[in-house]
Amino acid sequence: MTVEFPRQVYENTILRLPELRPETQTIEFRQDPLTGARCRLNRKRVERPKQVSPGSAVDGLARKPDNCPFCPENIGAATPRFPAAICRDGFYEVGECRLFPNLFPLAPFHANITLSRRHFVSIEQFSAAMLEDALETARLFFRDVFRAPRSDTPCGCRNSGGQPGTTGADPVATAWGRGKLYPLVCWNHLPPSGGSIVHPHMQALLDRGPSGYQARLLEASAAYFEKTGSNYWTDLPRVEREKGERFVGENSSVWVLASYAPQGNREFQIIFTDGAGLLDLAGDARKDLVDALLRLLRYYHDSGVDSFNFTTLSAALGERQDFYNLNGKLIARPAVQPLYRNDTGVLERVHYEADVEMAPETIAREARGYFP
């Protein structure tokens, strides 16, 4: 069984002034091959007038405030600590990256990861070392919480230096008791992405259950496997490579595709060739993910994009599933402006149908040159 790419195509004709000249535009309704999630695509929408000030406001964001809690001179006093049962030192450090609890958590375990000691890093300035170190701190955090005994017994977890944690009440048991742990790594870069702090950082979350979208992917992947006997996440890149329309590039560990039915503008899927969870993200696999991300960020920069969102989509920690591969999504957000149109409107947030203006085939063709 091959992967299907459902679409419906309609035409809309209007009369353009001043001559009342007929103009027909094409609207596509696309459905994600796995989940059925819909998007609406009109290639002409890239020509819409946008009433914003010309130029970019990034330079204003680059000015460093005295009270940034993530800058080196403030981070020690401004950021909280983990209980010793999770990490003896209360935080993790790898290179310039530091991982510590989020002050306003949205999960039983929710951490921030600073990517650099520099207050501002523009999209083309991210380095492999920054991203590799950040992902390694996240992996160590997930590993330690995963290994911590989820009961009211002394904890034997280890911090990033490999040192035993101190004994005491187990914060994992306090948070949720026994059960599967579902991780997320999220990256919101600059205010249009929803990032509230300019200083470059990621977030690492652990939940007792998957997010709504994670659950949808896992359930649909299991159903596809049961129906076909095949893994959707290896079938999809194979079919996309054969089609050649949306396949962008690959390396030893990941495939990169432009999403067929994107839920954001300039959306890319990064799919691992092996492994279902974030605990598998080490060594060459981590380097290959970072290599793909940096190539896509260079494409974004050259296309005028300076803000973006990235998220991983993992199975439960420690699980290896025949029907699922670790994957992630990268989407572009509006350019930083004094005034700008947010690219998330009522169709996306209420009706769950993305309004997309650039065809996936176009961004795949443009981004393909950034991969060998």
Residue 132 lies in a domain: yes
pLDDT (0 to 100) of residue 51: 62
pLDDT (0 to 100) of residue 155: 30
pLDDT (0 to 100) of residue 280: 80
pLDDT (0 to 100) of residue 147: 83
Contact 179, 199 (CB under 8 A): no
Count: domains in the chain: 1
pLDDT (0 to 100) of residue 47: 87
- Which CATH number do you get for residue 115? 3.30.428
* Beta strands at 327-333 and 307-313: parallel, antiparallel or unpaired: antiparallel
Residue 68 lies in a domain: yes
| pTM exceeding the 0.75 threshold for the entire prediction | yes
Residue 131 lies in a domain: yes
Residue 265 lies in a domain: no
Residue 161 lies in a domain: yes
Residue 90 lies in a domain: yes
Burial label for 246, CB within 10 Å (0-12, 13-18, 19+), is buried
Query: 205: Cβ–Cβ under 8 A, 6 or more apart, which residues?
Result: 106, 107, 109, 110, 111, 183, 184, 186
Domain hosting 80: range is 59-179
* Helix pair 283-302, 360-367: axis angle to 10 deg: 110
Per-residue pLDDT of the chain (372 residues; tens, 9 = 90+): 589 999 999 999 999 999 999 999 999 999 999 999 999 999 999 888 776 655 567 777 778 889 999 999 999 999 999 988 888 899 999 999 999 999 999 999 999 999 999 999 999 999 999 999 999 999 999 999 988 765 432 233 333 433 433 334 455 545 445 579 999 999 999 888 888 899 999 999 999 999 999 999 999 999 999 999 999 999 999 999 999 999 999 999 999 999 999 999 999 999 999 988 888 888 899 999 999 999 999 999 999 999 999 999 999 998 889 999 999 999 999 888 776 667 777 677 777 778 888 999 999 999 999 999
Residue 229 lies in a domain: no
Contact 87, 165 (CB under 8 A): yes
Residue 319 lies in a domain: no
The residue written with tokens 């490999």 in the block is: 162
